[in-house]
Amino acid sequence: QQQVKQSPQSLIVQKGGISIINCAYENTAFDYFPWYQQFPGKGPALLIAIRPDVSEKKEGRFTISFNKSAKQFSLHIMDSQPGDSATYFCAALNSGGSNYKLTFGKGTLLTVNP
Amino acid sequence: KAGVTQTPRYLIKTRGQQVTLSCSPISGHRSVSWYQQTPGQGLQFLFEYFSETQRNKGNFPGRFSGRQFSNSRSEMNVSTLELGDSALYLCASSLNTGGLAGELFFGEGSRLTVL
């Protein structure tokens, strides 16, 4: 059972454009939703995260939008740059649990053309 | 402050062999998690350790095992290797287990190729 569904699998945008990656989850116990960025040959690194008590969180060019009723959240990258080219993973966690198990989406390979 | 260190970075094994991967978490982090990353399945949770105790285990066969030492360093072992075990194995550490911090710090992984 895939608990976090991520789309699209790959995305190509032009420099300066907006990149949008979507995720949907099933487990209503999830209450922490991070996004990770992974460059080739590196491990994933936390980019931005949100909790469901807010509908939007912005950090620089990166924004998470969260729709609790639809059980969906998305990552928007404004003014996309070639340096943003990477694989992006959404994830979800039940922080009230006694263990630390992030459930990841399958990733989106973003390519930003110069 | 040093990040999460994984060794070895690359290794090649043959079917039926066993392998041990090592992870040194960030100093002060007591939670260590392991994930398997493959192109088809993405990042899949293997197990998590906190204070030398396995707190949770993913849906992997018993050939996959791990342990954590008193200094928080962790090892994972895969016995009787299969071709499908070829993957990037990622270790991640966290200050807490669950809770508000929420941030996992990943190492660069150990890339295992099974021939």
* Mean of pLDDT values over A77-106: 87
Specify the 3-state DSSP secondary structure of A7. strand
Q: How far apart are CA A22 and CA A7, in angstroms?
A: 5
A60-83 tens-digit pLDDT? 999 999 999 999 999 999 999 999
Q: Do A100 and B4 touch (CB under 8 A)?
A: no
Instruction: Kindly state whether B58 is in contact with chain A, defined as any CB-CB distance less than 8 angstroms.
Output: yes
Q: Do A103 and B45 touch (CB under 8 A)?
A: yes
Q: How far apart are CA B31 and CA A57, in angstroms?
A: 27
* Mean of pLDDT values over A52-60: 93
Residue B5 has pLDDT above 90, yes or no: yes
The pLDDT score that the predictor gives to residue B60 is 95
pLDDT-derived band at B102 (thresholds 50, 70, 90) equals: low
* Mean of pLDDT values over B79-86: 97
Q: How far apart are CA B88 and CA A97, in angstroms?
A: 27
Radius of gyration (Cα) for chain B, nearest Å?
Answer: 13
pLDDT-derived band at A98 (thresholds 50, 70, 90) equals: low
**Residues on chain B touching A95 (C-beta within 8 angstroms):** 98-100, 102
**Residues on chain B touching A46 (C-beta within 8 angstroms):** 103-105
* CA nearest to A108 within chain B: B42
Instruction: Kindly state whether B87 is in contact with chain A, defined as any CB-CB distance less than 8 angstroms.
Output: no
Q: Do A106 and B41 touch (CB under 8 A)?
A: yes
Cα dist from A91 to A24, A59, A105, B64, B73, whole Å: 10, 18, 6, 23, 25
* Summary mean pLDDT of chain B: 91
